[in-house]
Structure 1
Amino acid sequence: MIQILLFILAALLLVIGYSLVKKTAIFLAFLKEKEGLDAVLIDYGKFYIVGGILGIACAIFNDRFFNICFIIAVFILSGIFSFYLSKNIKMS
Structure 2
Amino acid sequence: MANTPQAKKRIRRNDRRAVVNTNRVSRIRSFIKKVETAVEAGDKKEATDALQAMQPELARGVSKGIFHKNTASRKLSRLSKRVAALK
TM-score, with structure 2 as normaliser: 0.48
Q: Which has the larger radius of gyration?
A: 2
Higher-RCO chain (CA-CA 8 Å, sequence separation at least 6): 1
TM-score, with structure 1 as normaliser: 0.46
